[in-house]
Structure 1
Amino acid sequence: MDQSNYWYLQNIDAIGIFCPDKMMSRTDLHQEKTYKKGEFIYLRDDHSDKIYMLVRGRVKIGAIGNADKEIIKAILGKGEVFGELALISDGKRNEFALAMEETEVCIVRKHDIPQLFRERPAYQQFFLRLFANRILTMENRLERLVFKDSRSRIIDFLVELAGQKGERVGFETVIRKFMTHQELANITATSRQTVTTVLNELRSKEIIKFDRRRLLIRDMNKLTMELT
Structure 2
Amino acid sequence: MSDSQLWFLENINLQFVFCPKKVDRGDLETVDHLSFAAHQYVYLPEEPAQKIYLINGGRIKIGTYGEDGKEITKAILTTGEVFGEMALIGQESRRDFAYALEDTDLCVLEKGDLHKMFRERGELQTYFLQLIGNRTLRLEKRLENLMFKSSRTRITDFLRELIDTRGRKVGYEHEVRNMLTHKEIADLTGTSRQTVNSVLNELRRDEVISFDRKRMLVRDLDRLQ
**Is the 2:177–2:216 contact (alpha carbons within 8 Å) kept by the matching residues of 1?**
yes
What is residue 182 of structure 1 aligned with on the other side? 183
What is residue 103 of structure 1 aligned with on the other side? 104
**Is the 1:70–1:186 contact (alpha carbons within 8 Å) kept by the matching residues of 2?**
no
CA drift of 1:16 comes to: 3.4
Q: How many residues align?
A: 216
| 3-state SS, counterpart of residue 46 of structure 1 | coil
Of residues 157-166 and 203-212 in structure 1, the stretch that sits farther from structure 2 once superposed is 203-212
Structure 2 residue 32 is matched with structure 1 residue 31: yes
Distance in 2 between residues matched to 1:50 and 1:128, nearest whole Å? 16
| 3-state SS, counterpart of residue 64 of structure 2 | strand
What is residue 153 of structure 1 aligned with on the other side? 154
Of residues 109-118 and 62-71 in structure 1, the stretch that sits farther from structure 2 once superposed is 62-71
More helix by share: 1
Structure 2 residue 17 is matched with structure 1 residue 17: yes
Distance in 2 between residues matched to 1:37 and 1:22, nearest whole Å? 22
Q: 1:94 to 1:117 in 2, by over 3 A?
A: same
**Is the 2:38–2:103 contact (alpha carbons within 8 Å) kept by the matching residues of 1?**
yes
Q: Which runs of 5+ in 1 are unaligned?
A: none
Q: Which runs of 5+ in 2 are unaligned?
A: 25-29
Q: Aligned partner of 1:19: which letter? A: C
Of residues 15-24 and 127-136 in structure 1, the stretch that sits farther from structure 2 once superposed is 15-24
In the superposition, the TM-score normalised over structure 2's length comes to 0.85
Q: 1:7 to 1:115 in 2, by over 3 A?
A: closer
**Is the 1:30–1:109 contact (alpha carbons within 8 Å) kept by the matching residues of 2?**
no
CA RMSD of aligned residues (A): 2.3
| 3-state SS, counterpart of residue 144 of structure 2 | helix
Q: Aligned partner of 1:199: which letter? A: L
| Aligned residue runs from structure 1 range 171-210, under 5 A | 171-210=172-211
Distance in 2 between residues matched to 1:81 and 1:221, nearest whole Å? 31
Q: Aligned partner of 2:220: which letter? A: D
Q: Aligned partner of 1:173: which letter? A: H
CA drift of 1:146 comes to: 2.4
Q: 1:209 to 1:167 in 2, by over 3 A?
A: same
Q: Aligned partner of 1:36: which letter? A: A
**Is the 1:9–1:133 contact (alpha carbons within 8 Å) kept by the matching residues of 2?**
no
What is residue 70 of structure 1 aligned with on the other side? 71
Indicate the percent of aligned positions where both proteins have the same amino acid. 46
Of residues 212-221 and 194-203 in structure 1, the stretch that sits farther from structure 2 once superposed is 212-221
Deviation string, structure 1 residues 64-111 (Cα, Å, up to 9, x no partner): 336543321111112211011112234321111111222111111123
**Is the 2:18–2:32 contact (alpha carbons within 8 Å) kept by the matching residues of 1?**
no
**Is the 1:30–1:108 contact (alpha carbons within 8 Å) kept by the matching residues of 2?**
no
In the superposition, the TM-score normalised over structure 1's length comes to 0.84
CA drift of 1:160 comes to: 0.3
**Is the 2:152–2:199 contact (alpha carbons within 8 Å) kept by the matching residues of 1?**
yes
What is residue 45 of structure 1 aligned with on the other side? 46
